[in-house]
Amino acid sequence: MVVKVALVVVLAVIAVYGALWALQRKMIYQADTSPVPPAADVIPGAQDVTLSTDDGLELGAWLVPPDPAADRGIAVLFAPGNGGNREGRADLAQLLSDRGFTVLLMDYRGYGGNPGSPSEDGLASDAAAAAEFLAQQGFSPQQTIYFGESLGSAVVARLQEATPPAGVVMRSPFTSMADVAADIVPWAPVGLLLRDEFPVTEYVAASDVPTTVIWATADTLIDPAMSEQVADAAEQNGHLVEAMTLPGANHNDPVTAGAEVADAVVRLAEAIA
């Protein structure tokens, strides 16, 4: 009887761990797969553009021009979080445009009507395609700021290692996906189960790119202490430009994509000028 009970327990544990292995990407990448409207219908003057990845995907994105009176000659490559699609960041793109930035609002594979399925390596290819597109538009890496939001912070952390930009903004970054998973399922051996690791702090600690880190102090999705650790890693390496908190805000509150955040991008641009 004891052996049978033990066998049932073992099988149950295997089933749970198997489900975590199989479903983890659905948990990480909560894509809005629905097509987005034409860019110009949402942001006046914006264009629908296509990013071509090194593994053969054609991804839709929006290119938002700057206010001509405020044009800084700097592009912002915006890498979004793990949910929604680019339409949800139209207001922030407009705020950045008003402040003189050209903005590339990308969507990852599997998001916003794009083909493919998201993964760590896949998102890296998507971001590399976005940087290459901007270079083709005349924006070299040294004329580009990478802006990563939540999961997008991990994407730009990796991108800046391969293609260093003028500066990086990370909003609500985490230290690594293993740390996030350990917060959610502390009883599981996440180090063995994770397929996508996103070691953000490692990338930041090895970087010399000027960096701004922004986080909400009441964030219930990403522990604010993780974002602070990312900022500490940048500071220890001497490339932290600003650590900015949004007091009392949660992860997706409007302030996290509002004027205060856009102004932080301006301060970074001015600091690196």
**In tens digits, what is the pLDDT along the chain, a chain of 273 residues?**
544 444 333 333 333 344 444 455 576 788 888 889 999 999 999 999 999 999 999 999 999 999 999 999 999 999 999 998 999 999 999 999 999 999 999 999 999 999 999 999 999 999 999 999 999 999 999 999 999 999 999 999 999 999 999 999 999 999 998 877 666 655 455 555 677 789 999 999 999 999 999 999 999 999 999 999 999 999 998 999 999 999 999 999 999 999 999 999 999 999 998
Distance from C-alpha of 88 to C-alpha of 52, rounded to nearest angstrom: 22
H helix or E strand, kind and range, residue 164: none
According to the model, what pLDDT value does residue 11 have? 33
Distance from C-alpha of 39 to C-alpha of 65, rounded to nearest angstrom: 11
Rounded alpha-carbon distances, angstroms, from residue 134 to 54, 86, 87, 127, 193: 15, 17, 20, 11, 36
pTM to 2 decimal places: 0.89
Distance from C-alpha of 114 to C-alpha of 164, rounded to nearest angstrom: 26
Distance from C-alpha of 165 to C-alpha of 157, rounded to nearest angstrom: 11
Rounded alpha-carbon distances, angstroms, from residue 249 to 172, 211, 245: 11, 21, 9
According to the model, what pLDDT value does residue 24 have? 59
According to the model, what pLDDT value does residue 32 have? 85
Q: What are the CB-based long-range contacts (under 8 Å, 24+) for 16-23? A: 16/188, 17/188, 17/189, 17/193, 20/185, 20/188, 20/193, 21/193, 21/195
DSSP state of 150: T
185: left (phi over 0), alpha (psi -120 to 50) or beta: beta
Distance from C-alpha of 78 to C-alpha of 170, rounded to nearest angstrom: 10
According to the model, what pLDDT value does residue 193 have? 65
According to the model, what pLDDT value does residue 9 have? 37
Is the dihedral angle over the CA atoms 20, 25, 28, 34 positive or is it negative?
Answer: negative
H helix or E strand, kind and range, residue 108: none
Structure tokens at 126: 């998507």
Structure tokens at 258: 């509002």
